A and B are shown apart, each in its own frame.
Chain A
């Protein structure tokens, strides 16, 4: 009586169904806006939590870009600025809904957007990321020069003011 009946044919179909579900791991792009008053450390903490959410729902991060603090085009939850994160990841299609739910409930996220990427889009993203990494190395020297120029121009202005004041 205690023996459990086995149905080989049924098992096969069940196993087939599971493999079909596991196969399509889609690529997604998610843009997340965090609160503007977070430090670098807090941002990293938030990112860790977000990756936790993703991995819980059967996803894997492929590339994370930090766009940094930007001015928002309109106010979101009374914030005028936001810290942007751009995230390319894979995810189980069934896990996207709970993942979005958790983004909504996470209090440091003020807005998010999840986009489904087609295969060709993902290939383009990979190409772009390779190019940007190559160009970033070349760009590093330029901002320092600009700052130097600004300081120079400010100093000039001050001198002008001094000359103008006694007259």
Chain B
């Protein structure tokens, strides 16, 4: 790449929740949360996903709740 910086799967640098005008991220909405989780089950950092701080904070809480109630995995082992 010309800039020399690595850009992975998440080239989009706009907060997807702001773009879709989602005010609150529900923990049981796994369709929404799945793309923001790595293969290993980790939360994707906002510097890669492009989420704003406000929504990233909501996201972490939602993901942690979803993990607690077994909607999302704590870790995925190979």
Q: Which residues of A contact B (CB under 8 A)?
A: 31, 33, 67, 70, 72-74, 76, 82, 86, 111, 113, 115, 121, 124
Contacts and interface: CB of A to CB of B under 8 A. Distances in A.
12 contacts: A31-B28, A73-B71, A73-B72, A74-B70, A74-B73, A74-B74, A76-B70, A82-B70, A111-B69, A111-B70, A113-B65, A113-B69
DSSP majority for the A interface? Answer: strand
* 7 tightest Cβ-Cβ pairs between the two chains A and B: A73-B73, A72-B70, A73-B70, A113-B69, A31-B69, A113-B68, A73-B72
Contacts of A31: 28, 69
A33 B70 contact: yes
B67 A73 contact: yes
Contacts of A82: 70
Nearest to A115: B65
Interface of B: 23-24, 28, 65, 67-74
Contacts of B73: 73-74
Contacts, number: 28
Nearest to A70: B71
A72 to B, nearest CB: 4
Nearest to A75: B70
Contacts of A111: 69-70
Contact of B28 (A33, A73, A76, A86): A86
Contacts of B24: 121, 124
Nearest to A71: B70
Contacts of A70: 71
Interface centre among B67, B69, B72, B74 (most CB of A within 10 A): B69
Contacts of A86: 28
Nearest to B30: A73
Nearest to B26: A128
B74 A33 contact: no
Contacts of B71: 70, 73
Contacts of A72: 70
Nearest to A121: B24
